[in-house]
Amino acid sequence: MKVRVTDLINKSNKTAFSFEILPPLKGNDIQKVYKIIDKLVEFDPQYINITTHHSEYIYKEMPDGTILKTNIRKRPGTVAVAAAIQNKYNTVAIPHLICKGFTRAETEYALIDLNFLGVYNLLLLRGDANKLQPDQMKGDGNNYATDLQKQVNDFNTGISEDGTVFEKFETPFSYGMACYPEKHEEAPNIESDIRYMKMKQDNGAEYFVTQMFFDNSKYFSFVDRCRAEGITVPIIPGVKPIVLKNQLNVLPKIFRSDIPEELASELRKCKTDPEAREIGIEWGIKQCKELMQHGVPSIHFYSLMASESIRRIAKEVY
Ligand code: FAD
């Protein structure tokens, strides 16, 4: 599908709805993915993102007491999942391409496959580096999302990762990239993050999707700062409904997203996960209503474990 995300957002006469899914663990099949999507298609998703994950080490105790360390990929490839979704639902599928854990040659194979399959929209990211071990930090991989962006830009003009020029083989990949209203954990300050965002925009990022946040005021002031620095492309808010009580502490730790006291105090009162899930839904509705009143271009939902909550939020706000 050659339609671009920005065209979809612009042509949508209401705030566009989108969500992100993870390829299921190995051993499951595509029906598991379809079940999640089937719950949400009634809200007319304009596009569906599919995350990518590098391989991980697992440790297994052997009968003789030794520990076996193996490097495995826990989930099937995002390329195949994206193509299956796009074909079944006739909706734009956006595979995430990441730097970490992949060589540039592997990334090029993914681009060749995606071009072959007609999947032309991408989200370009560095990837989570926390769980990577030194031998998985492939020396011949991209380091930053901006390096991956250069590889995709080159590929679009027929230049291979080793610098050779293909026979006329122009690909039309368009893409968005990530941003962090509460600053990326490694950035020395928000100005530095915004400087790299501007670089991403100037080199072809057509929109940004934010890390999850729970406090809309942080998103609004971040967008104002970005606009002041010349970032003009859509900045799509990422919303994650809380579904577990322990996410009160886990999400700020993993994603560096603050939980406002108004929400935190309600979650602290919960005795069970189902109670926490109800609070997450209420908060999600309130958050989305306010974002929509501010005219955001689209709302992007993080759906891990939360597809039922998203369905209930979307039913209320769409
Ligand atoms: P980068 O843009 O490379 O930034 C990383 C850090 O380096 C930042 O501090 C930035 O300020 C700085 N920086 C940026 N460019 C440069 C440069 N050229 N030189 C020096 N410093 C630079 N992770 C996955 O593994 N799989 C996924 O599918 C996935 N999907 C995501 C989707 C969204 C919407 C978001 C917000 C995140 C996602 N992540 C995913 C997590 C993401 O990969 C991590 O947050 C990662 O740590 C940073 O990714 P990035 O693309 O922002 O990196």
pLDDT digits (tens, 9 = 90+) for 62-106: 888 788 877 778 888 899 999 999 999 999 999 999 999 999 999
d(C-alpha 191, C-alpha 140), whole Å: 29
Residue 129: pLDDT over 80: no
Question: 5-317 has which CATH code?
Answer: 3.20.20.220
d(C-alpha 197, C-alpha 270), whole Å: 38
Determine whether the shortest distance from the Cβ of 186 to ligand 1 is under 6 A: yes
Q: Strand 235-239 and strand 298-302: pairing?
A: parallel
Strand partners, 243: none
164 DSSP 8-state letter:
P
Give the residue, by CA position, lying nearest to ligand 1 atom 25.
Answer: 127
Q: Which atom of ligand 1 is least distant from the CA of 186?
A: 9
Residue 240: pLDDT over 80: yes
Q: What pLDDT digit, counting tens, does each position of 21-63 carry?
A: 999 998 899 999 999 999 999 999 999 999 999 877 777 778 8
pLDDT of residue 57: 74
Determine whether the shortest distance from the Cβ of 145 to ligand 1 is under 6 A: yes
Domain spans in the chain, listed from the N-terminal domain onward:
5-317
Q: Cα angle at 23 between 17 and 29, to 5 degrees?
A: 115
This prediction's pTM: 0.95
Residue 286: pLDDT over 70: yes
Q: Where are the alpha helices (DSSP H) in 145-298?
A: 145-156, 190-202, 216-228, 247-255, 261-269, 273-293
d(C-alpha 303, C-alpha 286), whole Å: 17
Q: Where are the alpha helices (DSSP H) in 49-144?
A: 78-89, 104-117
13 C-alpha to ligand 1 centroid (Å): 31
49 C-alpha to ligand 1 centroid (Å): 16
Rounded to an integer, what is the distance from CA 270 to the centroid of its chain?
Answer: 29
Strand partners, 26: 28
258 C-alpha to ligand 1 centroid (Å): 18
Work out the mean pLDDT of the chain and round it to a whole number.
93
d(C-alpha 229, C-alpha 189), whole Å: 15
Give the residue, by CA position, lying nearest to ligand 1 atom 45.
Answer: 128
Whose tokens are 């991980």? That residue is 56
Counting beta carbons within 10 angstroms of the beta carbon of residue 168, is it exposed (0 to 12), middle (13 to 18) or buried (19 or more)? exposed
d(C-alpha 267, C-alpha 51), whole Å: 28
Q: Which tokens is 16 given?
A: 């566009």
Q: Which atom of ligand 1 is least distant from the CA of 123?
A: 32
pLDDT of residue 189: 97
d(C-alpha 236, C-alpha 228), whole Å: 17
Determine whether the shortest distance from the Cβ of 52 to ligand 1 is under 6 A: yes
Q: Which tokens is 242 given?
A: 């809380």
Question: What is the best residue among 18, 56, 126, 212 to mutate for testing ligand 1's pocket, by most ligand atoms within 8 Å of CB?
Answer: 126
